[in-house]
Chain A
Amino acid sequence: MGIDTATLPERPDVAGELLAIPAGWDVREVEQFLYKEARLADENDYDGWEALWTDDALYWVPVDGEGDHPLATVSVIYDNRNRISTRLKQVRTGKRYAQAPPSNLRRIIGNVELLGGRGNRDGGVDLELGANFVAIESRPRGNELWGGRTTYRLRKFGDEIRLVYKKVVLVDNERALPTLGFLI
């Protein structure tokens, strides 16, 4: 019962095949982008963070390791561009209580690895890379330690790098998680 995954498109993390690393990417430039994205999220700069995304954005936080098919099973977050916008509009009201007041938050990103290329809907090839992270979040309820592995896909528009895809696999996503109100 439930949803027959044979009727669904391929799951987005493994759709198509992993191609060679596309030309024109410098690992230092990529790291600078990741650090900026992390800082905007840490500082709850919702406008700045939202502006990083492409129109075909996908922001995914699965449960149970890499997760099951995200159109057939539940995830903590599975946001397309439209739902990212809704999520940010909600928090900008100042009455998204899970994030009002906002979390005090800092994260460290490391182990950045360029993994390959992934064909996109425009016929181009996005850069796929992975990185580890640790974040410490402070809220009135206490401190939370978050950690995991993020897979990103990036696309260049001229000199500008934009975020196409972000999948965050938390190390403890097989267990009960506290409220995740910030941008992970």
Chain B
Amino acid sequence: MTAVVQPAPVATGQSRYSQLIRPDQVHGSLYTDPTIFAEELQKIWHKTWVFVGHESEVPQPNDYVRKQLATQDVIMTRDRDGEVHLLINRCAHRGLQVCDDASGNSSSFRCPYHGWTYRNTGELLGYPYNKGYGGKNKLELGMGKVPRVASYQGFVFGSLAADGPSLEEHLGAAAGEIDRLVGLSPEGEVSLDAGWLRHRTRSNWKFLAENETDGYHPQFVHGSIFGVTGSPIGALYSDSSTAVTRNLGNGHSENDLRPEFRNFAEPLRWFGTTPDRVPQYVAAMQESYGDDAERRLIEGAPHVMIFPNLFIAEIQVFNIQPVAVGECVQYATAVQLAGAPEMNKRMVSQSIGSVGPAGMLLADDTEMYERNQRGVQMLDPEWLDVRRGLQRESIDENGFTIGAATDETGMRGFWQHYRTLMEAED
């Protein structure tokens, strides 16, 4: 659909984004203007750390899997020495897509067009009829590579910028949330090898990023499934909930549900089960973590949005990738905890019920994203409101801004970081 919302006029001496992003409102054109999307690719998606996949998707030497990094088709490979690379799927000769298979095991890739062959590190190995180039090893060409690749707890991120903050600097406090997730494995390790659901979403990617820690919507959007299943999740996001919404900095945010679960003090309540149903798991946790196991099992998994595209929703991981100003894809999978087979089966089953194109939760979120995209193209009012809870925010003991469970503190943190990146000079 064509964007009909006119960009707001820019006053002289002020940046475009300081005009479009206010502390309590953001302009509708941020979701509909193709020139803003093009600038986001340059200043966010091709620059900052973007979640791409997980090391467990390429467990063996020479394994590979095709992934997306924004609009780029990349091949995540593990070379023979175990190092993970992100190759851009394009032949250095005529620009063809080199790799067609979704995944496999190979030490090299051969372009079908003229037979140029590349090592799984991107290095050009050879080209047929080499006399046409004056012999072998005459060309200093290779596949494009994502220049910076780094992992945290097996989560693989890529940055298309050669220089910039390290992954640890980018993750900041959000790293601790990934640690919380991994700390629910008796072996301190998670894998993302239960396959991915791919959900095509006709919406700007930012509606998703904002919604992931919006504690205001669950009672309304998900009331249908909470009601029929008797789920206690709705209460976590009620007006009387003690949960908090936290701006973790760098655009990351979380719904910290631990205050609620600590009040109940029931191990595995966060997962909707009880220790007697997963006795081997509970025993393994006690074996690994001793007295601290109980705290971990009571507090549960994080609900964190890591800027710009990694959403950990307790037992699911989402990888959001933009396609165009009004379209993105949500990739979703079930977390798998090393050393916890009882939990893993349940997490696969629960994830199938909840997420993906037919999920009893996410299909309804996605319906909202798509209606939001249509609505925001209406001319009046031009602005979206993000002020909920602004007057009751406070600073927690670690210096982070927190709001109530249903407040828009996470969105405001998102926009703050977004503006910083969009205003940065190249």
* Chain A interfacial positions (CB closer than 8 Å to B): 1-4, 7, 61, 63-64, 68, 70-78, 83, 86-87, 89-91, 93-98, 140-142, 174-181
The answer on a CB contact under 8 Å between B227 and A1 is no
Identify the B interface with A (CB < 8 A).
56, 59, 102, 189, 191, 193-200, 202, 221, 223-225, 227-229, 329, 332-334, 336, 338, 341, 344-345, 348-349, 351-353, 355-358, 360, 363-364, 366-368, 370-371, 374
Q: Which residues of A contact B202 (CB under 8 A)?
A: 141-142, 178
CB contacts (< 8 Å) of A64 on chain B: these are: 102, 195
A70 to B345, CA, bound (A): 10
Q: For B368, what are the chain A residues with a Cβ–Cβ distance below 8 Å?
A: 97
Query: Contact between B194 and A72 (Cβ–Cβ < 8 Å)?
Result: yes
Q: What are 21 A-B pairs at a CB distance below 8 A?
A: A1-B189, A3-B341, A3-B344, A3-B348, A7-B341, A63-B195, A70-B352, A71-B348, A71-B349, A74-B333, A76-B197, A78-B352, A86-B229, A90-B224, A93-B223, A94-B224, A95-B224, A140-B371, A141-B374, A179-B358, A180-B363
**A2 to B191, Cβ gap below 8 A?**
yes
B228 near A1 with CB under 8 A, answer no
In the bound complex, do residue B348 and residue A96 qualify as a contact, i.e. CB atoms below 8 Å apart? no
Which residue of chain B has the shortest Cβ distance to A93 in the bound complex?
A: B224
**Residues of chain B contacted by A176 (CB below 8 angstroms):** 198-200, 329
| Cα distance, A2 to B352, chains bound together (Å) | 15
Majority-rule SS of A interface residues: loop
**Cα of A72 to Cα of B344 in the assembled complex, Å:** 8
CA gap between A180 and B364 in the complex, in Å:
10
Return chain B residues, CB-CB under 8 Å to A4: 341
- A-B interface, 4 closest residue pairs, ranked by CB to CB distance from nearest: A98-B363, A73-B195, A176-B200, A1-B191
**B338: chain A residues within 8 A (beta carbon):** 1
One of A74, A89, A97, A181 near B195 (C-beta < 8 A): A74
Across the interface, do B358 and A74 meet the contact criterion of CB distance under 8 Å?
A: no
Please name all residues of chain A whose beta carbon is closer than 8 Å to the beta carbon of B334 when the two chains form the complex: 74
Q: How far is the CA of A68 from the CA of B371 in the complex (A)?
A: 33
A178 / chain B contacts, CB cutoff of 8 Å: 199-200, 202, 357
**Contacts A75-B352, A176-B198 given: A93-B357 contact, CB under 8 Å?**
no
| A96 neighbours in B (Cβ, 8 Å) | 224-225, 360, 364
Provided the pairs A1-B191, A95-B224, A97-B221 are in contact, do residues A63 and B360 lie with their beta carbons within 8 angstroms?
no
The distance in angstroms between the C-alpha atoms of A76 and B223, with both chains bound, is 21
